[in-house]
Amino acid sequence: MKQEEKWNEALHRIHEIISKTELVETEKWGMPVFTINGKNVVGYAGMKNHFGLWFYNGVFLSDPYGVLINAQEGKTKAMRQWRFESIEEIDEAKILEYLHEAIQNEKEGKSWKAEKGAEMEIPEQLEEILQADSKLKEAFESFTPFKQKEFIEYISEAKREATKISRLEKIIPMIQKGIGLNDKYR
């Protein structure tokens, strides 16, 4: 059973609640995202063991009920999730309270400004390949620093050497064709 099917009724209910606000529905990254003045405010999706709301600038929410979490501590800076494990956990009044606060925060211009990260060190395996192939190095350097960083992190975050090698084998043709690691999601 697909994750979305498992949570169909619950996600429909969440959609109904969000639709009671002034947010405009769009679709980004294959999921519904609700915006105000073109800025992402909230999205929702079903996962394997839960479904949830994603507040894009959730870090600014007061969270009076203590329901918001940072799903990737150390990585995710502004986004906060509200996870549910059953449709019975959906409390329309509380959800609307969070939605209205998120909308107000967006109207007030509260948004997370990305920090400039330290320059990333190219992993040894990737560096060796780039040094051995000048055309590949030129193609890699033609990417924006952001896209270069995505490739670097993709290799660096692998724990096992075998995983690093398989990831390198995956990205080399992408680099040669000028395709960014996450272009298909944009």
Is 112 exposed, middle or buried (CB count within 10 Å of its CB: 0-12, 13-18, 19+)? middle
CA-based R_g, the chain, Å: 20
Percentage of the residues of the chain whose pLDDT score is greater than 70: 93
Q: How does pLDDT run across 132-175, given as a tens digit for each residue?
A: 999 999 999 999 988 999 999 999 999 999 999 999 999 999 99
Topology of the domain covering 3-107? Aspartate Aminotransferase, domain 1 (3.90.1150)
Residue 112 confidence (pLDDT): 79
Rounded average pLDDT over 47-55:
94
Residue 117 confidence (pLDDT): 62
Residue 14 confidence (pLDDT): 97
* Domain ranges in the chain with CATH number 3.90.1150.200: 3-107
Q: How does pLDDT run across 55-104, given as a tens digit for each residue?
A: 999 999 999 999 999 987 767 788 999 999 999 999 999 999 999 999 99
At 1, the pLDDT band (50, 70, 90 cuts) reads very low
Residue 92 CB: number of other CB atoms within 10 A? 12
Whole-Å CA distances, 171 to 50, 94, 100: 32, 44, 42
Residue 29 confidence (pLDDT): 80
Rounded average pLDDT over 26-34:
90
At 118, the pLDDT band (50, 70, 90 cuts) reads low
Is 179 exposed, middle or buried (CB count within 10 Å of its CB: 0-12, 13-18, 19+)? middle
Give the 3-state secondary structure of the chain: CCHHHHCHHHHHHHHHHHCCCCCEEEEECCEEEEEECCEEEEEEEECCCCEEEEECCHHHCCCCCCCEECCCCCCCCCCEEEEECCHHHCCHHHHHHHHHHHHHHHHCCCCCCCCCCCCCCCCHHHHHHHHHCHHHHHHHHCCCHHHHHHHHHHHHCCCCHHHHHHHHHHHHHHHHHCCCCCHHHC
pTM of the model: 0.64
